[in-house]
Structure 1
Amino acid sequence: MLYQEKHRPQLHFTPKENWINDPNGLVYYEGEYHLFYQRNPHSNDHADMHWGHATSTDLYHWEEHGIALAPDELGTIFSGSAVVDKNNTSGLFESASGGLVAIFTHDGESQQQSIAYSEDKGRTWIKYEGNPVIPNTKIKDFRDPKVSWHEDSKKWVMALACGDHIQFYNSPNLIDWTYLSSFGKEYPSHIGVWECPDLLYLPVEGSSKKEWVLIVSINADGPNGGSAVYYFTGSFDGKVFHPNEKPEDALKWADAGKDFYAAVSWDNTEDTYWIGWMSNWQYAGVMPVSPWRSAMSLARKISLYEKDGNLLLKQTPVIADNRKEAASYQDVTIQPDTAESYAISDTAQIDLRISEASSSTKWGVKFVTDQEEVFQLAIDTQENTYTFYRTEGMIDFSEEFPEEIKGTLNGLDVQNLTAIVDRSSVELFLNNGLTVSTNLIYPQGTVTQLEVFAVNDVLQIDNVSWTQLKSIWN
């Protein structure tokens, strides 16, 4: 059956066939969430980049459409963004109510920024005849424009990835762009190239405050190797980003797992949502799947949480009302060096709420297949760390794939855990999404069992539950 191959995700967007990577052009318009993405419509490798297209009404169920943007004489179509030009600032639309404008990188002899516009809800696009709107400035890596409206200055603002830093531009009309400032050269993590920036204005939970967040994806210097996303908090005055973090501070990783990259947000939404490419450039081209290659993460609602004066990114997965079967157990006590087992499906949401009376500082969960393969999450609150063990299943296609994937708990005791298991991935959300880890898995068998274990003391659980989720393709 279509979309039913062995490792095909059932809860995450994948194309029917062939290669995808970075999400692009995320915008909400007239009842639809648009997901454009890097797309090779001809084969399963990264080449001949187009923009693919899918839409959703709930950020969970997706309908795949045809190619939105195709290569031309200026080059292939690399990453970018889309906005609702609701006041027709560009003058490109016949109607005063405007329409959709895509801002993207043309990758040819050099990388340049271009635009296109749509008057039919993103189904067809007309490229601007004056492209490029920002010619190349002799920077090798000059790409991934993320554009949003800056209300205070009444102008469009662009964040642009430029190798080892981010440049900011503004425009009154999406056509004529002025350079404003640069950020990042003095900061660490330049082993890899900076990519896919985003500039967000997010609420701080429990207060009336909002703060600016600058998102940067970096390829080759992630906390567990390869690709990853980190962020800065600070202020933005319409021209310059002023970070809270000093260059010597530790980087804040949005997701310390191996497989969350190039994440960007939707434009024109009341709350802020984003999505990432669920892969890693270390092995993206050799993953053992066919006829498609790569998936998107779940969409996530994002905000900020303040702890001891430090602002942390909080992420909550978006899952529609999609329950098929559920089970819940209260007041579970797990003795040291023992485990409780529960039968689950391989498309499931698992939720644990730890009791305040619990004394165990080392505990975890195991996802076990019908072939006794084990994928384990181990939590150590004394060391302020977690480790996800991805050392079983199909692992021989890349030496970088089998790994003990580590991350920080951000100085917090773990009060709750949500895990989304979907055939070939596990997304982990600790402490309501203040710590997140996204990781692909390729079991030979099928996940059928959840085990919860304690190591050094009694683990007291107020509630453990699991929900089988129906396929989004049904």
Structure 2
Amino acid sequence: MYEEKFRPQYHFSPKKNWMNDPNGLLFYKGEYHLFYQYHPYSKVWGPMHWGHAISKDLIHWEELPIAIYPDELGQIFSGSAVVDRENTSGLKNSDEDVLIAIFTHHGEDNEKQSIAYSNDKGRTWAKYKGNPVLKNPGIKDFRDPKVFWHNPSQKWIMTLAAGDCVHFYGSPNLLDWSFLSSFGKEYGAHGGVWECPDLIELEIEGEKAKKWVLIVSINPGGPNGGSAVQYFTGDFDGIAFAADTEKERMQWADHGRDFYAAVTWSNTQEPIWIGWMSNWQYAKQVPTDPFRGAMSIPRKLTLRKEEGELKLIQLPIDFASIVASEAITMESFTLQPDKPEKIEINNLQMLFQGKVKGNTASAFTWTIRGENEYLQIIFDGVNKEVRIDRTQSGLTTFSEQFPSVSKMPLKELEEFSIFIDQSSVELFVNQGSGVMTELFFPTAKKMVLEIEAIDGIVDLGDISLKNLQSSWK
């Protein structure tokens, strides 16, 4: 019914059962395709299929039949999809461009890369008879191919997770692959296995230059525990990726606990990605029914120079089409110490935005409060960080790993957007410079929004609180 308790109303979730990583993200003829790791027979992770949904606007989704099923070669693990416009694969047999899905076949202790193809706009998929197209070289974790056409070198490039590093492969036709190089043994975080890589060229804001960004999910080893997404900036010449950051430096795409396996859509005008809103520490226990798993807000990507370093910038796609009404708009709003501003909340589908015009407070807090529970965001000017406290946010005892206070470094708060959707919060600060994504499972029937300054005054401007409609109705 898409009305179940904790069901996101403007994020994608499957009608029922288990979902994790986004796969095969592809735009073709006005349709955004979202494939995903799916177990159609249970709310717990099991034999992986590729589920499938399409959208014209990345907000309203139509769930389609399962796209790819397991077979004698194994389960269908994560991967990507491309439009083979020039029919380099020779698999085109209709008036439509042939779409190629590249995925990991996961067998007992053996992962290899295979392809499937569609000649009917992604509605049906046939597996290639010559699978696998890339055999396992003797690496246990060898998965999650992300493929794109590299114009300067006139070949397809595959970025593949291989243990705790990345391998690059090249192919003229998506069928025959040659090893090019590896990256990562000495770079970044290595607290867990590397997964779901992506390699994409992004614009630098305010400059004509571009830089390559290598995106890698890691599990465990995230900044606040469990799984997370790290990234590296640098150059790619069609063979090797050369990072331009120090080897030991760690850059996190999202400092929240619930953003993982994020990858970009192929064949779009501007780079857009989406991630799975969960964490492997407790993903199998979250108290949702009949579904388990949801996707983040789709986000546009750029790079920005901050203090001489390149930073990954994420901005949510334009949600104007689902804004129902503006409950509150104010030009200015002054928070006084010990005088919390209270706003009654009718539902947990909202967007709260504002700018900080002046601030003498040590911190200010943004709290959704119900009887005996609260979710709190603390903007801490003394410790130069923002925290999300969900220790008392409702249902928390389903996993001892779930109650937490997550932290993100933040030198100064200039502007913020807070998206709430039934059981999730996504915080964007300073025009997408910092992002935190977290789940919470409130139980209170009545909720109040409280905003309070601590030990000083906070002047807020351009305040708006918008109620967001359900995209399922």
TM-score (norm 1): 0.97
Aligned twin of 2:338: 337
Question: Secondary structure of the equivalent of 1:252?
Answer: coil
Shift of 1:470: 0.5
- 1:97 CA displacement: 6.2
1:420 matched to 2:419? yes
Shift of 1:81: 0.1
**2:447 match:** 448
Question: Is 2:280 the counterpart of 1:281?
Answer: yes
In 2, distance between residues paired with 1:320 and 1:29?
A: 23
Q: CA deviation at 1:14?
A: 0.7
Provide TM-score, normalisation by structure 2. Answer: 0.97
Does 1:394 pair with 2:412? no
**1:423–1:446: 8 Å Cα contact kept in structure 2?**
no
User: Which string of whole-angstrom CA distances, capped at 9 and with x for unpartnered residues, describes residues 19-53 of structure 1?
Assistant: 00000000000100000000000111111100000
Once the two structures are superposed, what CA deviation does each residue of 1:289-308 show, in whole Å capped at 9, x if it has no partner?
A: 11100101111111111112
Following TM superposition, by how much is the alpha carbon of 1:447 offset from its aligned partner in structure 2, in angstroms? 6.5
- Alignment map for 1:206-221 (pairs within 5 Å): 206-221=206-221
Describe how 1:265-344 pairs up with structure 2 within 5 A: 265-318=264-317, 319-326=319-326, 327-344=328-345
Q: Distance in 2 between matches of 1:363 and 1:421?
A: 19
Distance 2:178 2:27 in 1: 26
Deviations 1:109-136 (A, max 9, x none): 3100000100111110011100000001
In structure 2, do the counterparts of structure 1 residues 96 and 290 end up closer, same or farther at CA, with 3 Å as the change threshold?
closer
- Report if the CA contact (8 A) 2:96-2:120 is conserved: no
Q: For residues 146-176 of structure 1, give each alpha carbon's deviation from its aligned partner in whole angstroms, at most 9, with x where no partner exists.
A: 0011111111101000011000011111011
For residue 363 of structure 1, what is the aligned residue in structure 2?
A: 364
Q: In structure 2, how many angstroms separate the alpha carbons of the residues matched to 1:34 and 1:434?
A: 27
**Which residues of 2 match residues 57-72 of structure 1 at below 5 A?**
57-72=56-71
Specify every segment of 5 or more residues in structure 1 that has no aligned partner in the other structure, as ranges. none
Shift of 1:359: 2.7
1:118 aligns with 2:121: no
CA distance in 2, matches of 1:241, 1:211: 11
Instruction: Write the distance in 2 (CA, Å) between the matches of 1:446 and 1:312.
Output: 40
CA distance in 2, matches of 1:160, 1:20: 22
- Give the C-alpha shift of residue 383 in structure 1: 2.3
Shift of 1:76: 0.7
Tell me which amino acid in the other structure corresponds to 2:307: D
What secondary structure is seen at the aligned counterpart in 1 of 2:66? coil
Measure, in 2, the Cα distance between the counterparts of 1:14 and 1:447.
25
Would you say how many aligned residue pairs link Structure 1 and Structure 2? Answer: 468
Residues 216 and 447 (structure 1), Cα distance of their counterparts in 2 relative to 1, 3 Å cut: farther
For the residues of structure 2 that align with 1:215 and 1:335, how far apart are their CA atoms? Answer: 42
Q: Distance in 1 between matches of 2:35 and 2:96?
A: 23
Inter-CA distance 31–188: structure 2 relative to 1 (3 Å threshold):
closer
Structure-2 residue corresponding to 1:157:
157
1:347 aligned to which of 349, 370, 376? 349
> How far is the alpha carbon of 1:398 from its aligned partner?
0.3
- After superposition, the C-alpha distances for 1:191-243 in whole angstroms (9 at most, x for unaligned) are 21000000010111111111100000001110110010010011111111010
User: How far apart are 1:320 and its partner, in Å?
Assistant: 4.6
1:321 aligns to what SS in structure 2?
helix
Alpha-carbon spacing, 1:77–1:298, altered in 2? closer, same or farther (3 Å): same
Shift in Å, 1:337: 3.0
* 1:72-221 correspondence runs (5 A): 72-95=71-94, 98-109=97-108, 110-221=110-221
Distance 1:269 1:74 in 2: 32
> In 2 relative to 1, CA 96–291 (structure 1 residues): closer, same or farther, beyond 3 Å?
closer
Which amino acid is 1:47 matched to?
A: G
Is the Cα–Cα contact under 8 Å of residues 96 and 121 in structure 2 kept in the other structure? no
- Cα deviation, residue 268, structure 1: 0.3
Distance 2:382 2:145 in 1: 42
The letter of the residue matching 1:187 is Y
Distance 1:68 1:320, change over 3 A: farther
Give the superposition deviation at 1:335: 1.3
Per the TM alignment, residue 449 of structure 1 is displaced from its structure 2 partner at its CA by: 2.4
Give the secondary structure class of the aligned counterpart of 2:60.
coil
For residue 380 of structure 2, what is the aligned residue in structure 1? 380
Letter in 1 for 2:251: K
What is the DSSP-based 3-state SS (H/G/I as helix, E as strand, rest coil) of the residue aligned with 2:284? helix
Instruction: Give the conservation status (yes or no) of the 8 Å contact 1:258–1:405.
Output: yes
User: Partner residue of 2:242?
Assistant: 242
In the TM superposition, residue 361 of structure 1 has moved relative to its aligned partner by: 4.3
Q: Which runs of 5+ in 2 are unaligned?
A: none
Kept in 1, the 8 Å contact 2:192–2:220? The answer is yes
SS at 1:437 equivalent: strand
Return the alpha-carbon distance in structure 2 between the equivalents of residues 158 and 382 of structure 1.
45
Structure 1 range deviating more: 386-395 or 375-384: 375-384
Instruction: Tell me how far apart the structure 1 counterparts of residues 13 and 96 of structure 2 sit (CA, whole Å).
Output: 33
The CA deviation at 1:188 is 4.4
2:14 alignment counterpart: 15
Does structure 1 retain, via aligned residues, the 8 Å contact 2:367–2:451?
yes
Q: Which amino acid aligns with 1:289?
A: T
Amino acid at match of 2:168: F
1:300-331 deviations in whole A, cap 9, x for unaligned? Answer: 11111111221111111122511212121222
Mark the CA change 1:447 to 1:231 in structure 2 (over 3 Å): closer, same or farther.
Answer: farther
Describe the superposition over 1:266-293 as per-residue Cα deviations: whole angstroms up to 9, x where unpaired.
0000110000000000001111111100
Which amino acid in 1 is paired with 2:360? S
CA–CA distance in 2 between the matches of 1:6 and 1:130?
Answer: 45
**Percent identity over the alignment?**
52
Residue 432 of structure 1 deviates from its aligned partner by 1.3
Separation in structure 2 between the aligned mates of residue 361 and residue 172 of structure 1, nearest angstrom: 58
Runs of 4+ residues over 4 Å off in structure 1: none
Matches within 5 A, 1:36-75: 36-75=35-74
Cα distance in structure 2, aligned partners of 1:269 and 1:381 = 39
| Counterparts of 1:258 and 1:76, CA distance in 2 | 27
Q: Contact 1:367 / 1:447 at 8 angstroms: preserved in 2?
A: no
The answer to whether the 8 A contact 2:24-2:33 is kept is: yes
What is the aligned-residue RMSD (CA, Å)? Answer: 1.3
